[in-house]
Structure 1
Amino acid sequence: MTATAAPLDLLLLPTWLVPVEPAGVVLKAHGLGIRDGRIAFIGPRETALKLATKETRELPGMLLSPGLVNAHGHAAMSLFRGLADDLPLMTWLEKHIWPAEAKWVDEAFVRDGTDLAIAEQLKGGITCFSDMYFFPKVASDCVHNSGMRAQIAIPILDFPIPGAASADEAIRQGIELFGDLKHHPRIRITFGPHAPYTVCDENLEKIRMIAEELDASIHMHVHETAFEVQQAVEQTGERPLARLGRLGLLGPRFQAVHMTQISEDDLALLVESNTSVIHCPESNLKLASGFCPVERLWQAGINVAIGTDGAASNNDLDLLGETRTAAMLAKAVAGSATALDAHRALRMATLNGARAMGLESEIGSLEVGKAADIVALDLSGLAQQPIYDPVSQLIYATGRDCVKHLWVAGKQLLDDRRLTRMNEQELVASAIEWGRRISGRNE
């Protein structure tokens, strides 16, 4: 892999470089060069040192990886973190979260909550995230200003939500935002019907037609709990995934979030339609929603990505920790210690997330020509020694506090754990103030 004569903007020289594609590869004594926001060179250190470059960064003891891709979340819900813990999903939603949202969620809430989530994710090695929450234009402004990359899913429900009085209004807003941002280099707009039990057939068919016309993705909670599936079967005689298949929503642009309940028929539908599944293990564990059978899906050839879900139900946006949980849980669910090995787990948190969002040609692996969305993790600490396989140490022995540097499209957004574009103290103060208001401590 060679670079042209033009000088590199930045040359990174880590101890290990894990490209993710090709699979299972760890490169030692290699360098990575960035030019105009893209990866322009990957090759041996000796060759790299001969190249003209404006800046060289030695990264001893560090592993260079594609930036992590958080394929499902509700960013602004960071401001509800810990508000209603240890409750079942529907009690949590109907008695606590939905009333809190009705009272508190406005543009200011979404702006401050999204900024808080972006900062937490950057510090955890995440370069791209999917967000499904109210006032999506406000969230997209936050992403634009932060320098991060995101998929913004327009929330659509059959009843009024903050920022949209009806499903038709939400869809109209989505079409408008899609048009406004279709050429944005870091933001992709998708449509986010909330769940099969909150969106009727008529609205789902509208969404399908519009998504097809715009070549947009659809992002939706599906089969999150056994109760959801059982209730649908009792009421209609049809499983929710089968209904979505009948309505024509499933396909390579469809992102099915959670999928803890999967029958043989469901599996066949997912395979046949080439639908992606977004696995959110910690939220599913905390709400006792069930277990997505990741290894079974993987062996069937289904693209499985990983998401944190919102901080109100997780309670963090730690994708590295989420991936470790996913790897452990996959082994327990499959009854096999070989299920979801460390290299595949990292792929799930990077390239598979990019593929689910239709961004696999742009991000998700370290390849010449792709956007320079990169994270450097420090494996030189006590807890990572000794290192036999750096990817195993990354997944099983490394926390997000080891994230040292991060770049999105070649721009450094985290430098030695310091956010370069956001003020951490101001974000903390804002979150504390929201907590005071929401808890009623100053009312």
Structure 2
Amino acid sequence: MTLTCLHPHYLIPVEPAGVVLQQHALVIEGSDIREIAPSDEVRLRYPDAEHVELSKHCIMPGMVNLHAHSAMSLLRGLADDLALMDWLNHHIWPAEKKHVSDQFVFDGTSFAIAEMLRGGTTTVNDMYFHHDAVARAGLASGMRTVVGCSILEFPTGYGNNADDYLEKALAAHQQFAGQEGVDFRLAPHAPYTVADTTFRKIIALAEQHGMGIHCHIHETQEEIQGSLEQHGKRPLERLHQLGLLSPNLIAAHMVHTTDDEIALLARQGVHIAHNPASNLKLASGFASLHAMQRQGVNVGIGTDGAASNNKLDLLGDLRLAAILAKAQSGDPTALHAHKALEMATLAGARALGLDSQIGSLLPGKRADLIAIDLDTIETQPMFDPASQIVYAAGREQVTHTWVNGRCLMRERVLTSLDSQQLLDTARWWQQKIVANIDAA
């Protein structure tokens, strides 16, 4: 089997925590990391291997986007500067009802994956419709993809009711069972769009089929107020009584939490997908990130969809998360650079149950990793590469991306996707959507 030896200036493995290696090489064998050792030793040990010189770069694990609606990239900028429920009810859901199809989801997901790969994301935890289209886009591109199968009570262009969505979710899960690089989760949309009986079914089916659960929870104050009026309790209390809170759950947003709720999340082992840019843009609020991490809650980072962010830029969102954590807590030591990198990598992998495979650079793990060029005006002089990546680097400095040992971007050129074709397809959808708006 061909060996590929990468020789960066810096290597941040994430495990052990806080370590930065210099003049070390990473050896890829097939889909896995074979070893990490001093570069001189690797050159001598593997003279016939492919040696890739990255003397200006830092190598680190590929990032995990823990909450995304990938296909919504085709709706980027459609309805900006609106409150969440106005945005959903009067703009996004009507557009989705008119346009979302298998082709829309495949095209939109492929377009989003290209953006994510270019920004250093190697795994996405998605949530949308037409689950087989999401899976096919992930497999075609090589992106490690977790397909969140949306479930609601009301009809859309994809399903008629909760049972219909569940049936389609399980069928897609079965269709792609055992395929490397794609997995499935049940994704009840939110407490305000899913009934108690459906949540109970989801919990039972997730356990029966070995599937995780992914849900928007406590995103806005309006959501909490509506739950108090309808159920007489806050959403998290209701979900806890239903049995939803467990290490099997990824709760997206969790913006509005009390100290007691954070303690409950920690006790139940719930994972949080923190979405700082989307939370700010929709004026949803400020999640208590530092308080959650102090309590031991595992928190990863997500972009949300490009229709509400409007970028799928984990590096940018990571910087925002770190700065917000400091300002909100009044503690400049909150979420230091190495912890932030862990949040974007190993924490996300842990939330997905993939931390034995990805999220850090250790021998035997999958070769999901990225190279970042730090020899730029924007990231020099160099004192601490972790600090430069979190606070100074931009996604355009990601030059190489590997998933499962396969190089999906080399020197900023995608190898598994046709960038021009993606742009042409996105423009075609734009014209189609605009024509419908004009006709209305």
Instruction: Classify the TM-score, shorter chain.
Output: over 0.9
Query: Is the CA contact (8 Å cut-off) linking 1:193 and 1:219 kept in structure 2?
Result: yes
Do residues 417 (structure 1) and 421 (structure 2) align?
no
Output the CA distance in 1 between the equivalents of 2:337 and 2:318. 9
Query: How far apart in 1 are the matches of 2:4 and 2:344?
Result: 25
1:236 positional shift: 1.5
Q: Write out the 4+ residue segments of structure 1 that deviate beyond 3 Å after TM superposition.
A: none
CA contact (8 A) 1:308 1:319 kept: yes
2:375 equivalent in structure 1 = 380
Residues 12 and 21, structure 2, Cα contact 8 Å, conserved in 1: yes
Task: Give the CA RMSD over aligned residues.
Answer: 1.1
Kindly state the Cα deviation for residue 24 of structure 1 after the two structures are TM-superposed. Answer: 0.6
Q: Distance in 1 between matches of 2:347 and 2:105?
A: 28
Tell me the distance in 1 between the aligned counterparts of 2:156 and 2:188: 12
Partners of 1:50 and 1:210 in 2: how far apart? Answer: 53
1:264 is displaced (CA, Å) by 2.2
Q: How does 1:287-302 map to 2 (within 5 A)?
A: 287-302=282-297
**2:27 aligns to what?**
33
Aligned 1:138-287 pairs, distance under 5 A: 138-287=133-282
- Local SS of the residue matching 1:127: strand
Structure 2 counterpart of 1:4 = none
1:226-279: per-residue Cα shift (whole Å, max 9, x none)?
Answer: 111122112222111111111111111100000001112211210110000110
Could you tell me how far apart the structure 2 residues matched to 1:179 and 1:369 are? 28
- Establish whether residue 44 from structure 1 lines up as the match of residue 38 from structure 2: yes
Aligned-residue offset at 1:8:
5.5
Give the distance between the partners of 1:107 and 1:64, measured in 2 at CA.
36
Q: Counterpart in 1 of 2:319? A: 324
Task: Indicate conservation of the 8 Å contact 2:72/2:307, yes or no.
Answer: yes
SS of the counterpart of 1:434? helix
Paired residue secondary structure (2:149): strand
Query: Quick check: 1:135–1:162 contact (8 Å CA) kept in 2?
Result: no
After TM superposition, give the deviation of residue 213 of structure 1 in Å: 1.2
CA deviation string 1:326-348 (max 9, x = no partner) = 01111111111111111111111
Task: Describe the superposition over 1:11-37 as per-residue Cα deviations: whole angstroms up to 9, x where unpaired.
Answer: 000000000011111000101001121
d(CA) in 2 for partners of 1:182, 1:35: 25
Counterpart in 2 of 1:83?
78
Q: How far, CA to CA, are the matches of 2:145 and 2:415 in structure 1?
A: 18
Task: Give me the whole-angstrom Cα distance separating, in 2, the residues matched to 1:166 and 1:335.
Answer: 46
Tell me the alpha carbon deviations over residues 277-326 of structure 1, each in whole angstroms, 9 at most, x when there is no partner. 11000000000001111110011000000000000000010011010110
Task: Classify the secondary structure of the residue corresponding to 1:218.
Answer: strand
Could you tell me which runs of 5 or more consecutive residues in structure 2 were left unpaired when the two chains were aligned.
none
DSSP-derived class of the 1:271 partner: helix
Q: 1:62 and 2:57 equivalent?
A: yes
Mapped contact 2:105–2:129 kept (Cα < 8 A): yes
8 Å CA contact retained: 1:13, 1:45: yes
Equivalent position of 1:429 in the other structure: 424
AA matched with 1:355? R
Percent of aligned pairs sharing the same letter: 47
Q: CA deviation at 1:98?
A: 0.6
2:335 partner SS? coil
Residue correspondences, number: 437
SS, match of residue 44 in structure 2: coil
- Of residues 3, 6, 9, the one that matches 2:3 is 9
State the SS of the aligned residue for 1:329. Answer: helix
Please report how far the alpha carbon of residue 42 of structure 1 lies from its aligned counterpart in structure 2 after TM superposition: 0.5
Q: Which runs of 5+ in 1 are unaligned?
A: 1-6
CA distance in 2, matches of 1:72, 1:62: 28
Q: Secondary structure at the match of 1:72?
A: strand
For residues 12 and 363 of structure 2, the distance between their equivalents in structure 1, rounded to whole angstroms, comes to 13
Q: What is the match of residue 342 of structure 1?
A: 337
Which residue pairs with 2:397 in the alignment? Answer: 402
Work out which of the residue numbers 304, 308, 313 in structure 2 matches 1:313: 308
Query: Alignment partner of 2:67: what SS?
Result: coil
Residue 44 of structure 2 aligns to which amino acid in structure 1?
Answer: K
- Aligned partner letter, 1:80: L
CA offset at residue 427 of structure 1? 0.7
Q: Which moved more, 1:136-145 or 1:174-183?
A: 174-183
- Match of residue 393, structure 1, among 381, 388, 391: 388
Matched position secondary structure for 1:440:
helix
Return the alpha-carbon distance in structure 1 between the equivalents of residues 212 and 81 of structure 2: 33
Q: Which moved more, 1:174-183 or 1:251-260?
A: 174-183
Match of 2:108 among 113, 127, 132: 113
Say whether residues 1:366 and 2:395 are aligned partners. Answer: no
Distance 2:175 2:106 in 1: 19
Q: 2:420 & 2:179 partners in 1: Cα distance? A: 29
CA–CA distance in 2 between the matches of 1:283 and 1:139?
22
Corresponding residue of 2:89: 94
Deviation, structure 1 residue 439: 1.4
- 2:16 is matched by which residue type in structure 1? P
Given the alignment, which residue of 124, 133, 136 partners 2:131?
Answer: 136
C-alpha separation in 1, matches of 2:411 and 2:30: 22
- Helix, strand or coil: the match of 1:50? helix
Q: With the length of structure 1 as denominator, give the TM-score of the two structures.
A: 0.97
Structure 2 distance, partners of 1:42, 1:300, is: 33
Is the Cα–Cα contact under 8 Å of residues 107 and 138 in structure 1 kept in the other structure?
A: yes
Specify the SS of the correspondent of 1:348.
Answer: helix
Q: Distance in 2 between matches of 1:130 and 1:290?
A: 22
